[in-house]
Amino acid sequence: MPKNLVLVESPTKARTIAHLLKGDYEIKPTMGHVIDLPENRLGVRVKQGFDPYYVVLPSKKKVLSEIEKLAKSSEGIFVATDPDREGEAIGYLIKEYLKDKGVPEDRFRRVEFHEITPPAIRRAFASPRDFDEHLVEAQKARRILDRIVGYYISPILWKKVSKGLSAGRVQSVALRLIVEREKEIRDFQPKEYWEIHADFLSEGQRLSALKLSKVEGRKPEIPDEASARRIADGLKDLNWRITSAERKVKRKNPPPPFTTSSLQQAAFNQLGFSANKTMQIAQQLYEGVDLGQDASIGLITYMRTDSVNISDAALEEVRAFISDKIGKEFLPEKPNRYKSRKGAQEAHEAIRPTSVYRTPESVKDYLTKDQFLLYQLIWRRFVASQMRPAEYDQLSVVVNDDDNRYEFRRTFSRLAFKGFMEVYSEERDDEEDVLPEVREGTSVRILEILPSQHFTKPPSRYNDASLVRELEEKGIGRPSTYAPTIQTIIQRGYVVRKRSALVPTELGEKIVELLVKFFPEVMDYEFTARMEEKLDEIEQGSADKKSILEEFYPGFVEQVVHASKNMEKAVEESEYRCEKCGSVMLVRWGRTGKYLSCSNYPKCKNTKPLPTGVKCPRCGGDLVLRRATKGRRRGRIFYGCSNYPECDYVVQDLETAKQEAGVKEG
Where along the chain do its domains lie? Answer: 4-131, 140-187+460-566, 192-253+391-455, 260-385, 572-665
Q: Calculate the dihedral angle through the C-alpha atoms of 623, 625, 627, 632, rounding to the nearest 10 degrees.
A: 50
User: Which of 589, 592, 590, 587 lies closest to 627 in space, CA to CA?
Assistant: 592
pLDDT of residue 666: 41
pLDDT of residue 665: 46
- Give the integer Cα–Cα distance in Å for 79 and 651: 52
- In CATH terms, is domain 260-385 a member of 1.10.290.10? yes
CATH code reported for the domain at 4-131: 3.40.50.140
* 394 bridge partner residues: 248, 413
Active-site residue numbers?
A: 302
Contact 635, 627 (CB under 8 A): yes
pLDDT of residue 594: 86
* 458 bridge partner residues: none
State pLDDT tens for residues 494-507. Answer: 998 988 999 999 89
338-353: burial string, b at 16+ Cβ within 10 Å, e else: eebeeebbeebbbbbb
β 584-590/572-577 pair status: antiparallel
What is the longest distance spanned by two Cα atoms in the chain?
Answer: 97
CATH code reported for the domain at 140-187+460-566: 1.10.460.10
- Give the integer Cα–Cα distance in Å for 665 and 618: 11
pLDDT of residue 601: 92
β 495-498/51-52 pair status: unpaired
pTM across the whole model: 0.91
Neighbours of 127 (CB within 10 A): 10
Provide DSSP, 260-324.
HHHHHHHIIIII---HHHHHHHHHHHHH-EE-STT-EE--B--S--------HHHHHHHHHHIII
pLDDT of residue 429: 59
- Give the integer Cα–Cα distance in Å for 345 and 540: 10
Neighbours of 216 (CB within 10 A): 10
- Give the integer Cα–Cα distance in Å for 86 and 135: 9
- Give the integer Cα–Cα distance in Å for 98 and 108: 10
426-451: burial string, b at 16+ Cβ within 10 Å, e else: eeeeeeeeebbebeeeeebebeebeb
- Give the integer Cα–Cα distance in Å for 282 and 233: 59
User: Which of 229, 169, 167, 168 lies closest to 196 in space, CA to CA?
Assistant: 229
- Give the integer Cα–Cα distance in Å for 493 and 502: 12
- Give the integer Cα–Cα distance in Å for 321 and 251: 23
pLDDT, mean of each 10-residue run, the chain (666 residues) = 88 92 91 94 95 96 96 96 95 97 96 95 95 95 96 96 92 98 97 98 95 96 97 95 97 97 97 97 96 85 95 97 97 94 76 98 97 98 98 97 96 95 80 86 96 97 97 93 95 90 94 97 96 93 94 96 95 92 93 88 92 89 82 74 91 84 55
CA distances from 587 to 248, 288, 339, 373, 577 (A): 66, 51, 54, 47, 11
- Burial class of residue 638, CB neighbours in 10 A (0-12, 13-18, 19+): middle
As its CATH architecture, domain 192-253+391-455 has Distorted Sandwich (2.70)
pLDDT of residue 630: 72
